[in-house]
């Protein structure tokens, strides 16, 4: 469960939380009647959202690469499922 949380949920949620925190703490109030400043802030928000989205893609790709290259079992290996024998869990292992 922890591995799924780290490799699936974290790459999606963390960049969004960082973005929302950025917007909440960095956003400056716009003076009344200053349309140019409001437009600049909107463009800055859009650029930030682009970089956050790109970061999400990079983190997700790193998570998938970690899953692909961190396995200890060679591709094509047949695994025996975990079983409960005499009240003890026997973990999965390669069938020889």
| 66 closest CA partner among 13, 10, 16 | 10
Gap between the Cα atoms of 16 and 60, Å rounded: 13
pLDDT of residue 33: 61
- Each residue's pLDDT tens digit in the chain (96 positions)? 677 777 777 778 887 888 788 777 776 665 666 666 667 777 777 787 788 888 888 888 888 888 778 877 777 888 899 999 999 999 988 887
pLDDT of residue 30: 57
Backbone conformation region of residue 33, classed left if phi is above 0, alpha if psi is from -120 to 50, else beta: left
User: What pTM does this model have?
Assistant: 0.44
Total domains in the fold of the chain? 1
pLDDT of residue 82: 93
Q: Structural domain of residue 39, as residue ranges? A: 2-94
pLDDT of residue 18: 82
């Amino acid at each position: 469960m922890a591995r799924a949380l780290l490799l699936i949920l974290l790459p999606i949620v963390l960049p969004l939380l960082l973005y929302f925190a950025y917007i909440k703490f960095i956003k400056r109030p716009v003076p009344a009647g200053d349309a140019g400043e409001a437009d600049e802030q909107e463009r800055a928000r859009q650029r930030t959202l682009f970089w956050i989205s790109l970061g999400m893609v990079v983190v997700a790709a790193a998570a998938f690469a970690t899953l692909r290259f961190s396995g200890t079992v060679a591709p094509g290996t047949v695994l025996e499922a975990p079983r409960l024998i005499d009240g003890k869990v026997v973990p999965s292992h390669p069938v020889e």
